[in-house]
Structure 1
Amino acid sequence: MSRLPALMALVGVLTASAAQAAPKSDGPLPIPAQFPSGPAYGAPGVEQTPTYAYRDVLADPRLAALIEQGLVHNQDIAQAVANVQAAQAQFRIARSALFPELDASAGWTHSGGDRALGISSSAKGDSFNAQGVVSSYELDLFGRLRDLTAAARASYLGTQAAARSARLSVVSSIATGWLAYAADTSLLKLAHDTETAAKDSVQLTKKRVDGGVAPLGDLRKAEITLRQAQSDIASQTNAQAADLNALRLLVGDNIDPANLPLSLTDANLHLATIPTGLSSDILLRRPDVMQAEDALEAAKGNAAAARAALFPKITLTGLLGTASSALASLFTGGTFAWAGGATLSYPIFKAGAAKATARQAEAQQDASLAAYRKAVQSAFSDVANVLARRGTIADQLEASTAARDAAADNFRLSTQRYQGGIDTYLDVLTAQQTLYTSEKTLIATVLADGSNRVSLYRALGGDRLDGAATPRNGG
């Protein structure tokens, strides 16, 4: 009995040594506590950014229908779900090492005598046996198995975060693709409208040339705008088809034409803007940040397990069995036998491999810590950029709309002055091209406004349907 306190004291010393080898705290987040403020950002709408669902932001029922299709059929999501299932199984495998493994076996042997073979007739008969074995159960005195289990659990949670990230990416990509299709549809309509107006101008100018009122150069100038519009029609028709193909790939299924927007204005009608708060703590619910955090926790577990591997390992074995010549008496008294044992192993000389393994794991932990901090910093920069765009897009949209209206009025006046013989056709052509360009610029600005709403949804990463507000357990 006197050896037990000494053994426990040794275990205590070794455990304390293992604790002293543990790394220091990660420290505070390497970002400001609040998002930037200033002329580019505008005023925050609320103190804290709320949780939300994609249906709160991407509220068009046609877009929601496509997103629902994508969540079912998109292959990136299917792959992410399979990765989660594999990681969950790996976690359960690692956790099983914390418990003894019991194997059971049973057997029957029949033998018969043969004098010609020199076997005595007394050897005839049946024998039965059954046994249970506990093989190499490690006493986890220094937490090696617990640390490996914790690392496997963190990896499992990391795949859950990766699945959330894939889901968030699919939802936002479908929304962005839907808006791109709407923008190219509007640009295609603009090109068709410009072609129609240019054809009218060509016909009118041709009559003036034939009547000797206008020079041939005016006709050629009118044809420039017509050919440019026809070129844009071909380009936008191709872009619209590419947008639809990209949407089909994201959705992973055929798309009902009824779920496609008729124009960019039509598509932007039901897009909402998330009210944004001041605190940067919102970044911690982004799935990419959560995945980096889980990778750090997994690296910590692996490093702790590598350090624990430097200390002695105690394994237990046991056997409980019974044997009898008759099946009926197999489990009666006197047929049982048992055996048990313990093994203490300690690495004496591995040419520094064990310590190098521990140092490698600690270096990987440092790398994971740096990756986590970089993920937080990148998330902060991402959100800050989106907020800056959100704070300035309204002014840009107002200016683009005013420029388009002014260009339309200028084109109308230039046409009237040309018909009245005051301006040259070059003035009309310049005004028409300016109007065409300003219409394109306005469409691009409206697209930027809608895309920014989607980007803000994705950057904040707090969709409550993604499980952001639910407990993260081992499953």
Structure 2
Amino acid sequence: MRLLILPLVLALSACSLTPALVKPVLPVPATFPAADSPATRGDAADLGWRTMFGDRRLQRLIELALANNRDLRLAALNVEAVQAEYGVQRAARLPGIDATGSATRQRTAANTRAIPAMPAATQDQYSVNVGLNAFEIDLFGRVRSLSDAAFARYLASDHGRRAAQISLVGAVADAYFAERLAQEQQQLAQHTLADWRQSLDLARRLKEANQNSGLDVAQAEGQVASAEADLEARTRALAQARNALRLLVGTELLTNLPAPLSLEEQPVVTQLPAGLPSDLLFRRPDILQAEQNLVAANSDIGAARAAFFPRVSLTTSLGFASPAMSGLFDGPHRVWAFAPQITLPLFRGGRLRSELRLAEVRKSSAIAGYERAIQAAFREVADGLAGRSTFGRQIEAQTRAVSSAERRVRLSSLRYRAGVEGRLELLDSQRQLYAIQQALLDLRRGEFSNAVALYKALGGGLMEKDLAPDPIPLGSEREELSGTANDGSRS
């Protein structure tokens, strides 16, 4: 009969005081502004980063960053630490069985006043035991709630690592485009400075031939000085962009990288499908992280509620005890102990109620964080869609403006050489062309930055290669405890 006590007690520990988790309604509209038509619906998260970014040099930099970036490495180590914490908490749900062995030898003092007198004696005691030590029987689900909370925090940390990878891939791409922009702007500044120096040389020769005044020379000298200052600024921006890229990659930039492509030649997918806001709930790791934090906070409420009820612990042992080692394991020396204990909190000074209130407030905070994550994701996608629909037309218009400015410079140069108009008109046309060309480069980089931001906002960047849509059923994360890859990719 005694053998049935422990299984019966363990079976009674299925009770749980954790409240049912009700997720809040999506605090965003059902569709994105400027959403795709049904015929073009898709999921950008299924697009591998090698497809998204076709530049082989950029692909190699992303590979190096995924292998060497310290922030991503810290995120992975944090996942391992939280997983270990979950293992510790989960172990509390199972009885800990210990084996102990002891040997005692003691001498008792003589008692000469006793009748008859008791001489001094030496006693030996040997024992071997196997048993449980203060195992808590989880009648009200306190230990289970703590275990569930630890598991949810493990999942949240893993989603945080995935979010860190998405951010890293996007940051490397954005820093690479910033470096490409800085280099092309430096090259444009160098080319413009060379042209303006030739123009200054022409002004000086015309001055020596008494065909213009010193004002033209002064204007040309000021223009060259301005270009020289701008070139230094572009050189500084290029060095800083490369430093930022080196930090993200996590290692020194290799010299054998593939040749870079210009901004105009970059094979970046800029027309990404957005899908529906509800797709973000299982595509965005930061939203999944906020959701698991909400699950953990809800489980903490169950543990805080269970603390109001009696706590039952069990200590048992089975073994042998004998005054002689030779007969330790004989039948008559068998011993056992069964010591259940129940603890009922009577007065804690309001501590238990405060802990319950704290758990409830943290759950409310987790709900607000979950809703905020959804709203932020919706805003990021909406911003990306706004850029997607306007950057192309803006770049086309800016390209026409560059062509017009180039024609103006050619005509002004011809008119100046023919003496039809003064140098002021030529200088103005040259400055305008330079500014418009720099703005066009900024726009090209802005289009790629917008594409990167939209790709990140839609949950892209976890996979190296394209993946056919394969929605993960809700509630299947617990079975994936041991199957999460370091790079977040699936094949």
1:258–1:119 distance in 2 versus 1, CA, 3 Å: farther
1:357: Cα distance to partner?
A: 1.3
1:233: Cα distance to partner?
A: 1.4
1:120: Cα distance to partner?
A: 5.4
- Contiguous gaps of at least 5 residues in structure 2: 2-7, 483-491
Distance 1:188 1:163 in 2: 37
The residue that corresponds to 2:249 in the other structure is: 251
Q: Which moves more between the two structures, 130-139 or 85-94?
A: 130-139
1:465: Cα distance to partner?
A: 2.6
The residue that corresponds to 2:394 in the other structure is: 396
1:275: Cα distance to partner?
A: 3.1
1:173: Cα distance to partner?
A: 0.9
1:469: Cα distance to partner?
A: 6.6
1:464: Cα distance to partner?
A: 4.5
The residue that corresponds to 2:43 in the other structure is: 49
TM-score normalized with structure 2 length: 0.86
Q: Secondary structure at the match of 2:341?
A: strand
Question: What does the per-residue CA deviation read over 1:359-409, in whole Å, with 9 as the maximum and x for residues that have no partner?
Answer: 111111011101100110111011100111111100111011111111011
Structure 1 counterpart of 2:61, one-letter code: L
Q: Is the 8 A contact 1:274 1:457 kept in 2?
A: no
Q: Is the 8 A contact 1:88 1:156 kept in 2?
A: yes
1:163: Cα distance to partner?
A: 0.8
Distance 2:90 2:36 in 1: 50
The residue that corresponds to 1:378 in the other structure is: 376
Structure 2 counterpart of 1:46, one-letter code: T
Structure 1 counterpart of 2:481, one-letter code: G
The residue that corresponds to 2:24 in the other structure is: 27
The residue that corresponds to 1:425 in the other structure is: 423
Task: Say whether residues 1:199 and 2:206 are aligned partners.
Answer: no
The residue that corresponds to 2:216 in the other structure is: 218
1:119–1:257 distance in 2 versus 1, CA, 3 Å: farther
1:113–1:361 distance in 2 versus 1, CA, 3 Å: closer
1:112: Cα distance to partner?
A: 7.9
Q: Is the 8 A contact 2:165 2:462 kept in 1?
A: no
Distance 2:36 2:220 in 1: 45
Task: Say whether residues 1:92 and 2:87 are aligned partners.
Answer: yes
The residue that corresponds to 1:348 in the other structure is: 346
Structure 1 residue corresponding to 2:168, chosen from 161, 167, 170: 170
Structure 2 counterpart of 1:74, one-letter code: N
Q: Secondary structure at the match of 1:89?
A: helix
Structure 1 counterpart of 2:333, one-letter code: T
Identity of aligned residues (%): 32
1:398–1:43 distance in 2 versus 1, CA, 3 Å: farther
Structure 2 counterpart of 1:371, one-letter code: G
Structure 1 counterpart of 2:293, one-letter code: A
Question: What does the per-residue CA deviation read over 1:245-266, in whole Å, with 9 as the maximum and x for residues that have no partner?
Answer: 1111111111024437656426
1:271: Cα distance to partner?
A: 1.6
Q: Secondary structure at the match of 2:340?
A: strand
1:205: Cα distance to partner?
A: 1.0
Q: Is the 8 A contact 2:402 2:433 kept in 1?
A: yes
Distance 2:215 2:75 in 1: 63
Distance 1:297 1:289 in 2: 12
The residue that corresponds to 1:282 in the other structure is: 279
Structure 2 matches for 1:15-164, cutoff 5 A? Answer: 18=17, 22=19, 25-37=22-34, 46-50=40-44, 51-110=46-105, 123=122, 127-164=125-162
Number of aligned residues: 458
1:213: Cα distance to partner?
A: 0.8
Distance 1:34 1:226 in 2: 53
1:24: Cα distance to partner?
A: 6.3
- Contiguous gaps of at least 5 residues in structure 1: 2-7
